[in-house]
Structure 1
Amino acid sequence: MDTFIGLMSGTSLDGIDAVAVRFPPGRVELLAARTFPFDTHLRTELLGLIQSTGAGLLDRLGELDHRLGLLSAEAVSAVCEQAGLAADQVAAIGSHGLTVLHRPDGPHPFTLQIGDPNLIAERTGITTVADFRRRDIAAGGQGAPLVPAFHAALFTRAGSPRVVANIGGMANLTLLPGNEETPVTGFDTGPGNVLLDGWIQQQQGRPYDRDGAWSATGRVDEALLAGLLDDPYFRQPPPKSTGREHFNLNWLQQRLLGSDRAPEDVQATLAELTAASLAEAVLRAAQDAAELIVCGGGAYNPDLLRRIAARLPDMKLSVSDDYGLAAEWVEGAAFAWLAREALYARPGNVPSVTGARGERILGGIYPGSDKLQDTGGR
C-alpha cells in the first residue's frame, strides 16, 4: 500500500504540520505526525509579508518562498525518520504551502501559496504535488475549501447526514448529506482562531489562548458581537471563501474604535463570533444533520466547543479523534490524500463546494530524483 506525506501550513501561522499516512479503504492509517513550529522571527516575517506592500516586497516573497521550501523538506525528512521510511518508500508529498494572499473574486481572481515545491522535491528526492488551489480558480471556482473531498471520503456514512467543521485560522464546513443523490457542499464560515490568536498576542504576548482559558473569563459584549456579525461576508451565499486579507486585527480594531472594553470581554466576544457564525451557517445549510464533527486546532479549545454546543443543542458534537484521526492532523492528511488523487489522475475538487465549472485534477507534480529517467538526449 502506497505511503504519502502531507504538509500543511494554515492561516494561524504556527508552523508546518507533517504527516505520513496510508489510505486503507474507508480510513486513514497515521504512521507519524509532527508539527514544526515557526520561530518568532520567521513568523513575524511571514505576517509582515502577508500584511505589507511596497519596496522590497518581491524580494521578501522570493526569500520566504525559498525558506519555507527548505523548512518543508526538513519536515519531510524528520517525519520519514519518525516513521522509519526511506525516500523510495514514499509515493508522493502533498504540500499545501502557506497562503499569503487569497482573492478568488473580482475580474482577475487568484490565490498565492509559498513554500517552493521544487526545493522540496530536490532536497527529499520524493515526488511533490503542490499548488492545489489555482486550477480550481482557473475553472471558475473559489479554490477553497479543498478539504471537503477528503472529509467526504473519510466521514460519509449512508443514511447519516452530518457536518464536518474544520476550525483553523479560518473555519469551514463540509455538509455530508448521507446519500449519493445529494451533492456534498461546503464553504468558509469566517474566522476560526485567527482573531482569537491575534488578540491574545497583542494583549498578552502569548501565541494562542490555550484551552480557551482567557476567553472563558470574559463576558460576551452583545453589541460588539452584533457589529462583528454585521459584516457582509456572513450574509454572502456560498460558494465563498475567505482569509486574513479580510478577517484580521485591523478589521477588529475598526469595530472597536471609540469603545473601552475589557480585553478579556473582547476575547470572549471573539470566541462567540466564531461559534455564532459557524452555528448559524450549520442551521441555515444543514438543518437535517444530526452530528457535527470538529477538526483542526479549534477542536482542542473546550471553551469554543462549549459555545458551539450551546448554539446547536439538538446536534451531537464529536471530534475527528472519535473516528480514528486526531483533529490536529486532518488537514495534513487531506493534502496527502489530494496528492494521491493527483498521481492517480483523479479530481480533487468538489464543484458543488468551490463553484468550479466541473471536477478538476488539482496540483502541479514535481518529480523526485528517483522518477527521472535517461532519455538518451531525446
Structure 2
Amino acid sequence: MSKKLKVGIIGLGSMGSTHLDIYSKIKGVEVVAVADSIQSRLDGSSKAEGNISGQAEGGVSGLSVKKYLDGMDLINNSDIDIVDICVGTDLHYIFVEAALAKNKHVLVEKPLARTYDEAQKIIQLAEQSTCNIMSAMCLRYWPAWVFLKEAIENSTYGKCLSLNFRRQTSFPGGAFYSDDNQCGGALLDLHVHDTDFVNYCMGLPDAVFSQGYKGPSGGVDHVVTNYIFNKTNASPLVSSEGSWTMQEGYGFNMSYTANFENGTLSYLLDGEETLKLSRDAQSENIKLKEGMGYEFEIRAFVDEILSGNKTNLDLLIQAAKTIAIIEAEKISIETCSVVAVKA
C-alpha cells in the first residue's frame, strides 16, 4: 500500500473547515495537523459557518490530529507533506514562503495574495521550488463554470456574444472582513472569483471600467465592472457585479448569463442550483456533475502530486494576474475612468 500524503491545514474558518471535510473523502491523503489562532476552533467548542450548502462541514471534534495555535509550528512539523493555507489574505505570502522553504506542497486559498506585488513574489518562489503549489480558484473546477468554458471554447452554441456574472450576499461580519487592509473588501475577497474566471476563460483584458462604492470593510464592497478586450472586434461583451452590501437576511447567490449566436445559458445558485439552456423558442435544464469546485480543485491538486506532475505555472501566473486586474478595477472606481491592465 502506497504511503498517504500527510496534510496540515492552517486556518479553521469557513474554507479551512470545508477543506478538512473534503480531505476525509479522498484516498491517498490524511489530515494529521491543524492550526488556528483561535483556541475554541481547535478544541471544537466553536465552528465557522459557510454561506452555501456543503461549506464548512468539517470539524475537529473527535479528530485525532496535532493542533497548533501558530501556523508556523505546523509548517515546522517534518511529517507534513501538504500545507493547506486558509488564513487571511494578508497572511498568504508569509505562510506560502515559509511552507515552500520547508519543502512542503502548498494549496493556498483565494486570492493568491493581498497584492499583485506579493503574488509575483509567490510566482518567483514557485519557479524556484521543486514542490507543487496551487491557488484555490474554485470556479475553474465548478461544474457549471467548466460547462461554460467548454461551450465557449468549442463554440457549442456558436460564437459567444456576451457574458455577465453576478455574486451577491450580505456582509459576513467579523474582524477580518471589517478591515480592507486585511481582506481587500468584497472587490478582492468576493468579486475575485468572477474576475479570475473572466481571465481564465477569455484571457487578460486590455482594460477595465468599474464603478462601485465603499461598505463595512472600509474598502470597495460593491463593484460593477466591464472588461474591455481590444484584440478583435469579435470579442464578447463581458461584465460582472460583486457585492456583500445586501441587507442582513438576504442570503447568498451567484449567477451567470452567457448569450451565444444559437443559444443562451443562464445559471443560478440560490439555495438550489440550476443551469438552463434557451434556444429555438424552448428552454431545457442542463444536468450538471454533482459536487462543488472546492472538492474538484483539491482532488486535482492531490492527483498532480501523486502523479509526479509539476506545478501548472500557467494557472498560477493567471491567478496572480487576476489580482492585477482587481487593482486596475480599484483605480477605475477611484478615477471614474477606463484603466489599462498592467500585468
User: Normalising by the residue count of structure 1, what TM-score does the alignment of the two structures yield?
Assistant: 0.35
The answer to which structure has the higher helix fraction is 1
The answer to which structure has the higher strand fraction is 2
